[in-house]
Structure formats: structure tokens, C-alpha cells
A and B are shown apart, each in its own frame.
Chain A
């Protein structure tokens, strides 16, 4: 079984209201060195498939559902599911 970790971030041109509020909150509690926060999300998939097909399939999944490319960028890593 393969594990895919997808990092979703807001596109650079997009204002991130959550990030702005979080920046201000960090500064307020004493972390004045923080100049910017951008909040994204992490999507973890466990799936079957060969290494060659997975990359194309995950790109399709991102395009079809997981990502809205108008507002979001993404990248992903492919790894093994850690055995318990």
C-alpha cells in the first residue's frame, strides 16, 4: 500500500484571511518576529497502484475534486504506508 501526502496551499495571489488573523494573534502574544502566516491543508491518501500510475492518478484526483486551481496550489509526496 502506498501513502500519498498532498500539501494544499492558497495561491500566492490569494489573500488568506485566516493567515492574517493568525499573524496578528501570534504578534499579540509576543512573537513579533512573525511577519506572515499562510494556512493550508494536508490530505493523506492510502491507495493501491504502481508507482508509475499513482502520480498521474493523484494529479487527476486533484484536478477533478481535491483542488480548486482558481484559489489553490498543491504538491504531493509518495511514500510507503508505515507497517504497524
Chain B
């Protein structure tokens, strides 16, 4: 399986994502700079790391729309292949219209770097099959705009389609609508999440609760082959 870590200017945690693939599923992984993303379809999955794309100017993730890679990413997502965006990568997916909703400043008005308890609300996705339904994970978060917002109608749709994949289990510190921490698109091939699974793949860095997410992606691929 071939992974691309798609890097827009200002995304700073590309190395963490690259390392997580090497560490957990030991597959081919390449950095793809945003101006060189015209061959994206040669990859099986695209990973959008976190950071501060375009300085978070205008709105977090918004200016990524000015890059040709945005359209290439939209096409890749529409093709049904897997896309994972974490942190600022989630912002980009929302601003690109690939996932619904928007992001506001954290209720605390602080940049929060912490460990959160996160509940698996739907383990029947390509990204969460290796977790159990309702499992509570400990994952790092690091953001200033982690406050996910969706209006009532959107929340209704997310619930009806089982698109809410992760919620904050104990405290919804950032103030997200319905304590949402991660959602998929309707098809289920795109996941955006604020917690950072790539920072939780080794005991030495404080936990391995993110490992199963990358293993799920791998095993999902296996199932597709069988079918």
C-alpha cells in the first residue's frame, strides 16, 4: 500500500505522520509537496498532517484552496480512496468542502496541547475497524481552533449516516458541537479528526492508542482485495 503525506506550506507535522506509517504499518510512504500533487492518483491513501497551513490566515485551512493540490485532493477523495486529515489537515478538509462544518477558536481561547480521552463512536469505518465500539482512547491534541461547529441540520445528517466517528469522552474542553472530535464524509472514505493518532504510536512518546487507526487502514485495504 502506498501512502502520500500531502504537505501544504506551513504544515509542520509531516514528519510525525511519515514516521507513524513507517512505525505501525511499515508501508511505502512519500512526502508530496502541494505544487507537485498532480500524480496523487498513484497513491492508495492521502494523509494530511497538522501544523499551521498558510499561517492560519483568514481562517484555519482556508488558504489551502488557493493551491492546485486542493482540486487534486477533492478528486482523490471523490474517487473513493482513503483520505485522513488530522488537526490542521481536518481544517483543510472542511474548508475544501470535502467534509461538512467549520472551526471556531477554542472556548478557552488558549492553544491547548494536552491528552484527551476520545470515544470511538463508530468502529465500522475503514479507519476504526481495529478498535471496539465505544472504546475510550487517550490521544494528544494540539490546537487553537479545535472547536468544531456544525448547525442542527448538519448534525442530524452526521448522526443519521453514522459519520460521527470520535467524540471527546470526558470533557469537551474546546466546545465542539456534540463533543465531536472526528467525522467522516458520507461515503466513509474521508476522515477528519482533531486528536492526533500519529503522535500515539509508541510507548516511548506516551501511548499507542493511535496505532490501530493506521492498522485499520491497512486491513481495510486487505478486505477490498478479497472482495
B149 touches A71 (CB 8 A): yes
Can you name the residue of chain B whose Cβ is closest to the Cβ of A13?
B151
State the interface size on chain B (CB cutoff 8 A): 23
A47 within 8 A of B: no
B175 touches A68 (CB 8 A): no
CA distance A58 to B66 in the complex (A): 17
Contacts of B151 in A (CB 8 A): 13, 70
A18 touches B62 (CB 8 A): no
**Given A21-B109, A65-B65, A71–B175 Cβ distance below 8 Å?**
no
Say how far A76's CB is from chain B's closest CB, in angstroms. 16
A17 touches B65 (CB 8 A): no
B102 touches A70 (CB 8 A): yes
Contacts of B147 in A (CB 8 A): 17
In the complex, which residues 27-77 of chain A have their Cβ closer than 8 Å to any Cβ of chain B? 64-66, 68, 70-72
Say how far B99's CB is from chain A's closest CB, in angstroms. 11
CA distance A36 to B101 in the complex (A): 25
Interface string of B38-76 (1 = CB under 8 A from A): 000000000000000000001100110110000000000
Can you name the residue of chain A whose Cβ is closest to the Cβ of B106?
A17
Contacts of A64 in B (CB 8 A): 65
Which of B58, B65, B100, B149 interacts with A14 by CB under 8 Å?
Answer: B149
Contacts of A10 in B (CB 8 A): 104
B104 touches A68 (CB 8 A): no
Say how far A36's CB is from chain B's closest CB, in angstroms. 16
B109 touches A15 (CB 8 A): no
**Given A70-B149, A71-B102, A15–B175 Cβ distance below 8 Å?**
yes
B59 touches A68 (CB 8 A): yes
B121 within 8 A of A: no
CA distance A64 to B154 in the complex (A): 20
Contacts of A21 in B (CB 8 A): 109
Can you name the residue of chain B whose Cβ is closest to the Cβ of A70?
B102
Contacts of B112 in A (CB 8 A): none
A17 touches B175 (CB 8 A): yes
CA distance A10 to B147 in the complex (A): 14
CA distance A18 to B104 in the complex (A): 10
Which of A17, A68, A72 interacts with B105 by CB under 8 Å?
Answer: A17
Residues of A within 8 A of B (CB): 10, 13-18, 21, 64-66, 68, 70-72
Please, could you name 29 A-B residue pairs with CB atoms under 8 Å apart, sorted by A? A10-B104, A13-B151, A14-B149, A15-B104, A15-B175, A16-B104, A17-B105, A17-B106, A17-B107, A17-B108, A18-B105, A18-B109, A21-B109, A65-B58, A65-B62, A65-B65, A65-B66, A68-B62, A68-B95, A68-B102, A70-B100, A70-B101, A70-B102, A70-B149, A70-B151, A71-B102, A71-B103, A71-B104, A72-B102
